[in-house]
Amino acid sequence: MTSNASPSSSAYALTTEFEILGVLRSLAADQRLIHLRAPAGNASVVTTLLHIDPEKSALTFDGTADPGVLRPILAAERLHFEASQNGVHVSFKCGPAESLLFEERPALRLPFPAELIRVQRRDAFRVATPVNSPVLCTIPLEDGPVTLPLEDLSTGGLGASDAAHAVPETIGQVFNGCRLDLPDTDPLEVTLRLVHIREFERAGKQLRSLGFAFEGLRGAASARVQRYITALEREALARNRGFR
């Protein structure tokens, strides 16, 4: 198979055509949602693998009707793909992409990857949450509760914006009795552990993003978070297809 991706030394890398094709065919058959992104965060979309052509070493993915998103994707030498299948994180890189129509809808064709990574991880990536109607998380503090808008979410944790610098800067601190307000469902009580702080400047303002890990999220609570993540992914896929 042909590709301009360079192999890595990862112990989780599949490098034979038979192994890689097996995983790709499973992704296509199950119509798994796949996160496609250009390097340096220039563009990202949620897509699905529509067709595999072993003879031409080509993969066809759902495209996007948004020219602003399509432009950096087509300009990239390689694109990054991530998906989750039965608790396994799947990732690969390949490119460049070309735009075409597949069954009368926008699509992208790329060469096969030279390798594919499979890692048994429950939380492979986080999904961006809406900006216009943000998901909120309320954290109880000694001086009173603070409510933060989410930036992203996974079944393993969440990212939140803390522009007021209200949350203590103690990495590893655990916050019990937090409330996560997911749309169309009752508030969810969660325990959060602070794992990451990122300070940055935007438009002359000092901002801060916090990364939290869920502590003990399982069962019905984990399923509710996963259902919301899946709903966000499907909405993103519908937008990419021009349905919304």
Q: pLDDT tens digits for the chain (244 residues)?
A: 444 433 333 557 899 999 999 999 999 998 988 989 887 556 788 899 999 999 999 999 999 888 888 999 999 999 999 888 776 778 899 999 999 999 999 999 999 999 998 875 444 467 889 888 899 999 999 999 999 999 999 888 999 999 899 999 888 899 999 999 999 889 999 999 998 888 877 777 778 899 899 999 888 998 999 899 888 888 877 777 765 5
Question: What integer pLDDT is reported at residue 52 of this predicted model?
Answer: 97
One-letter-per-residue 3-state SS of 132-195: CCCCEEEECCCCCCEEEEEEEECCCEEEEECCCCCCCCCCCCEEEEEEEECCCCCCEEEEEEEE
CB 192 within 8 A of CB 212: yes
Chain centroid to Cα 212, Å, comes to: 16
State the first-to-last Cα distance of the chain, in angstroms, to the nearest integer: 37
d(CA 45, CA 79): 11
For 36, the 3-state DSSP assignment is strand
Amino acid making up residue 227: R
Q: Which CATH architecture has domain 127-240?
A: Beta Barrel (2.40)
Q: What is the pLDDT of residue 169?
A: 81
What is 13-120's CATH number?
2.30.110.10
Provide the residue count of the chain.
Answer: 244
Could you count the other beta carbons within 10 Å of the beta carbon of residue 109?
A: 19
Q: Give residue 242's pLDDT.
A: 65
Closest residue by Cα to residue 118 from 154, 87, 157, 153: 87
pTM tops 0.85, yes or no:
no
Nearest to 241 by CA among 96, 47, 75: 47
Pinpoint the residues of the chain covered by CATH 2.30.110.10.
13-120
Residues of the chain with CATH 2.40.10.220: 127-240
Beta-strand relationship, 105-111 and 34-37? unpaired
pLDDT of residue 172: 86
Residues with Cβ within 8 Å of residue 159, at least 6 apart in sequence: 126, 150, 151, 152, 153, 209, 210, 211, 212
